[in-house]
Amino acid sequence: MKKVSRRRFINNLIGGTIGVGTFPLLSFSSKDNKYAKKKNIPVIGEFDICVLGGSCTGVFAAVRAARLGASVVIVEKQNAFGGVATNGLVNIWHSLYNTEKNKQIIAGLTYEIIERLAHREAVTYDREDKKSHFTLNTQELKIDLDELIIESGITPYLHTLFSEPFNDSKGQLEGVIIDNKSGRGVIKAKYFIDATGDGDLCERMGMVTYIHDHIQPPSTAAYFEGWNSGQFNSLLKEHGKEFNIPEGFVWGAQLPGTNSYMLSGTRVYNVNCAFADDLTKAEIEGRRQIRAFLDMIRKYGQNFKVGLSGLPSYIGIRETRHIKCLYQVNDKDTMFGERFKDAIANGSYVLDLHHQDKPGITFRYLDGTESYSRPGYPAVVGRWREATEINPTFYQVPLRSLIPEKSNNVIIAGRMLDASPVSFSGIRVMVNMNQLGEAAGVTAYLALNQNKKIKDVDYNDVRKELEKGGSIII
């Protein structure tokens, strides 16, 4: 497909020649799309596949499609790729093994990135056998993702905001309107991957969406120097209310190769970060809580000298809206380890319910046990089902849960997948989302190569191609 260089686009914009020669002007009116007034918009470039959202999920989707031969563009609103892992500072990737640690169930680009970081001593392992979780230097991860994109021949756009879909005369999605420092333009493509996290493309196309009654609340992470977790938890239990710190859950990890400690201990209740007002409120409240932590430590912490060394460029969002797809992964599917013929991802992370209606979280395990935890209090242990002789050791995600009901050339990748509340609580973590991205990239490529609608691509072809590319398919 023909591409237009960014430099040439800028030069033509400055010279006033947009719309001449290789840069057609598109007449765009409110009749074509409800989000825009009549205006002429330049076409920035044309590609096989356009990925909206540059988290690891989006990057992995783009890389898998590009490695198969598609021309790919990726659009990210932040200044770096990696999403919550990099811009949100959350530096834990969970186990690539099943719950019994006797079978690897995740590989692909997740494993490839871990190996790249390990080469630079930018990853540490919870256990020497490398079968538990990984702690990443996610600032180094930013650079690795840059390199991965360039190596794959992908056209990247950072600091670029997706605004609205652009449809052809028949109402079919033909492009996306973006805004960045060069102005407003259209990126045209044959297929699109919505990796925005909130399903922005699908929602603005008018697809069916839904929001769970109690969505998992977001948290603002931060980097600290001189952190003391034990003393902090005691202070939080005794003095948290004085500083208006809501009860939630506290965890953290050292940033490999540094003296910085990543803490995720804030909790913003009653917001849905898919909406501008709530997102703004959440960002400000999350930073207020970080300041409250520091003020509490300064007042009551004995020999606890801590310094704030980094704040994220955006809050860690666990959940917003979901897109109605061909299949919803239900709670039973995940809790009982249901197997799917069209499975494209495997996960073993505990079902991790962050509550809206009470402090703390509930960990629900595949062996039927559960634990309710809150900072400064002993865990309350019980069972969510009776004990059985054999327990599932991992769960799966089917391809159908990524394919919107009413779309020919769009597939989703990320936390807006079609999933019920309990199942989502486990599926949502990054090592699982990474796999969804790879599956979306492969599916979009196959649809392109076979000239098919997304929903008509044979899942067997997707699974075979994923396995060829290094994914573990079960």
> Is pLDDT above 90 for 27?
no
pLDDT band at 359 (very low <50, low <70, confident <90, very high): confident
> Given a cut of 60, is residue 23 above it in pLDDT?
no
Residue 31 is predicted with a pLDDT of 44
**pLDDT at residue number 230:** 87
**Whether the predicted pLDDT of 154 surpasses 80:** yes
230 against 24, higher pLDDT = 230
56 pLDDT above the threshold of 90: yes
Range in 9-18, 135-144, 374-383, 462-471 the model is least confident about: 9-18
Structure confidence at residue 268 as a pLDDT band (50, 70, 90): very high
Q: For residue 254, which phi and psi values (nearest 5 degrees)?
A: -70, 145
**Proportion of the chain above pLDDT 90, given as a percent:** 84
Average pLDDT of the chain is 91
Which of 105, 152, 261, 197 shows the shortest CA–CA distance to 416? 197
Rounded CA gap, 266 and 317, in Å? Answer: 12
With bands split at pLDDT 50, 70 and 90, how would you rate the model's confidence at 473? very high
Percent of the chain with pLDDT over 70: 92
- In sequence order, the 6+-apart residues with CB closer than 8 A to the CB of 279 are 271, 273, 315
**Residue 37: pLDDT band with limits 50, 70, 90:** very low
| pLDDT (0 to 100) of residue 358 | 85
Predicted confidence at residue 29, as pLDDT, reads 45
Residue 26: predicted pLDDT: 53
User: Once rounded to an integer, what is the mean pLDDT over residues 305-311?
Assistant: 95
Residue 34, pLDDT > 90, answer no
Query: Residue 186 forms beta bridges with which residues?
Result: 43, 177
- The residue with tokens 């692909």 is 108
> At 437, which helix (H) or strand (E)?
helix 430-450
First to last CA, the chain: 35
| pLDDT tens figures, 162-172 | 999 999 888 89
Between CA 433 and CA 218 the distance in angstroms is 17
pLDDT at 248: 84
Scan for tokens 């501008």, then name that residue: 276
Q: How far apart are CA 305 and CA 119, in angstroms?
A: 33
If pLDDT is split at 50, 70 and 90, which confidence band does 374 have? confident
Residue 255's SS3 state is coil
Which region, left, alpha or beta, applies to residue 246 given φ > 0 means left and ψ of -120 to 50 means alpha? beta
Phi, psi of 168 (to 5 degrees): -80, -175
Helix residue spans in 78-123 (DSSP H): 108-119
| Token reading at 364 | 């629900």
Annotate 205-235 with b (16+ C-beta within 10 A) or e (fewer). bebebeebeebbbbbbbbbbeebbeebbeeb
Cβ proximity of 379 and 391 under 8 Å: no
Q: Is 21 exposed, middle or buried (0-12, 13-18, 19+ CB in 10 A)?
A: exposed
**Is the model's pLDDT at 6 over the cut of 50?**
no
For residues 451-460, give the mean pLDDT.
97
Under DSSP, the state recorded for 105 is -
Q: Spell out where 80-235 has E strands.
A: 92-93, 123-125, 134-136, 155-157, 161-167, 173-180, 183-194, 209-210, 221-225
Question: Could you say which DSSP state residue 167 is in?
Answer: E
d(CA 51, CA 66): 11
Query: Smallest Cα–Cα separation from 193: which of 361, 306, 66, 98?
Result: 66
The tens digit of pLDDT for each residue in 60-104 reads: 999 999 999 999 999 999 999 999 999 999 999 999 999 999 999
CA distance 80 to 460: 34
Question: Would you say how long the chain is, in residues?
Answer: 474
Higher pLDDT, 262 or 34: 262
- Residue 16: pLDDT over 80: no
Mean pLDDT for the stretch of residues 293-298: 96
pLDDT value, residue 355: 86
Joined tokens for residue 404: 């919107």
pLDDT of residue 24: 52
Q: Indicate the pTM of the whole model.
A: 0.91
Both tokens assigned to 407: 């779309």
Rounded to whole angstroms, the Cα distance separating 174 from 230 reads 55
